[in-house]
Chains A and B, each alone.
Chain A
Amino acid sequence: MAFLEVQNIQKSFGKTEVLKNIGFSLEKGEVLAIIGSSGSGKTTLLRCINFLETPQHGVISVGGEVLFDADDPSKIKEKEIRKNRLHFGMVFQQFNLFPQYTVFDNLVLAPKLLAKEKLKENGAYFGATSYKNAVAAIEAEAAQLLKKVGLTEKSDEYPCNLSGGQQQRVAIARALALHPDVLCFDEPTSALDPELTGEVLNVIKGLKSSDSTMVVVTHEISFAHDVADKVIFMADGVIEEEGTPQQVIENPKSPRTQAFLSRFNQYSD
Chain B
Amino acid sequence: MEQFWNITFQLLEGFKENCILFGVTLLVALPLGLLISMGSMSKILPIKAFCRTVVWIIRGTPLMLQLFVVYYIPPLLTDGSFKFSDRLSAAIIAFVINYAAYFSEIYRGGIESIPKGQYEAGYVLGMKKSQIFFKVVLLQVVKRIVAPMSNEIITLVKDTSLARVIAVGEILKNAEQFTKQGLIWPLFYTGAFFLIFCGVLTLLFRFIERRLDYYKG
The interface bits of chain A over 205-219 (1 if a CB of B lies within 8 angstroms of the residue's CB, else 0) are 000000000000000
The interface bits of chain A over 91-131 (1 if a CB of B lies within 8 angstroms of the residue's CB, else 0) are 01010111110000000011001100000000000000000
Distance in angstroms between the alpha carbons of A113 and B217 in the assembled complex: 24
Stretch at the interface among A33-41, A82-90, A234-242: A82-90
Smallest CB gap from B140: residue in A = A100
How many chain B residues touch the partner (CB < 8 A)? 22
Stretch at the interface among B8-16, B128-136, B193-201: B128-136
Asked if B117 and A100 sit within 8 Å, CB to CB, the answer is: no
Decide: A98 near B121, CB < 8 A? Known: A82-B128, A158-B214, A160-B217: yes
Task: Judge if B182 is at the interface, Cβ distance under 8 Å.
Answer: no
Distance in angstroms between the alpha carbons of A100 and B139 in the assembled complex: 8
- Smallest CB separation, B208 vs chain A (Å): 14
Asked if A110 and B127 sit within 8 Å, CB to CB, the answer is: yes
Note all chain B residues with C-beta closer than 8 A to A113.
127, 131, 135
In-complex Cβ contact of A50 among B118, B124, B127, B128 (8 A): B124
Task: Judge if A159 is at the interface, Cβ distance under 8 Å.
Answer: yes
- Smallest CB separation, B141 vs chain A (Å): 11
- Smallest CB separation, A70 vs chain B (Å): 19
List the count of A-B residue pairs having beta carbons below 8 Å apart.
63
In-complex Cβ contact of A96 among B121, B127, B139, B214 (8 A): B121
Note all chain A residues with C-beta closer than 8 A to B128.
82
Task: Judge if A178 is at the interface, Cβ distance under 8 Å.
Answer: yes
Decide: A159 near B217, CB < 8 A? Known: A96-B118, A113-B131: yes
Task: Judge if A2 is at the interface, Cβ distance under 8 Å.
Answer: no
Asked if B215 and A160 sit within 8 Å, CB to CB, the answer is: yes
Note all chain B residues with C-beta closer than 8 A to A52.
120, 123-124
Note all chain A residues with C-beta closer than 8 A to B126.
82-83, 85-86, 110, 114, 178
- Smallest CB separation, A97 vs chain B (Å): 8
